[in-house]
Amino acid sequence: MPESIIIGKVDEIPPGKVKGFSKRGIRFLVANIDGAFYAIGSTCTHAGGPLEKGVLEGNVITCPWHGSRFDAATGKVVSGPASNPEPTYKVTMSGKDLIIEM
């Protein structure tokens, strides 16, 4: 059964930005795409790069190490060298709180 954890406030992640988190030994990022929040793993599946330090353009986050691109809403690989998708996590809002299900 998933556990719900408050990870921060809605206004901490402006539209078009991402923020990295580590909870329960899992590293993930939360992306604000046009006011909707999505969470995917933040360790690049290609070589372990820090995706939370990448650039978000639209819904695509680019790894700063080797340029792998992932859909920040679905975790799917948009372009390699990565071939494996990122895990996804459900994000909800309660008032101003951002909550992730792990």
Per-domain boundaries in the chain: 4-101
The predicted pLDDT at position 2 comes to 75
Q: What is the pLDDT of residue 102?
A: 83
With bands split at pLDDT 50, 70 and 90, how would you rate the model's confidence at 51?
A: very high
Burial of 61 per CB tally in 10 Å (0-12, 13-18, 19+): buried
Q: pTM score > 0.95 for this model?
A: no
Fold of the 4-101 domain: Rieske Iron-sulfur Protein (2.102.10)
Say what the pLDDT of residue 37 is: 97
Q: How much is the average pLDDT of 13-31?
A: 95
What's the mean per-residue pLDDT of the chain?
Answer: 95
Token pair listed for 27: 């590293």
- Residue 68: exposed, middle, or buried by beta-carbon count in 10 A (0-12, 13-18, 19+)? buried
pLDDT greater than 90 at residue 44: yes
Please tell me the distance from the alpha carbon of residue 5 to that of residue 33, in angstroms, as a whole number: 21
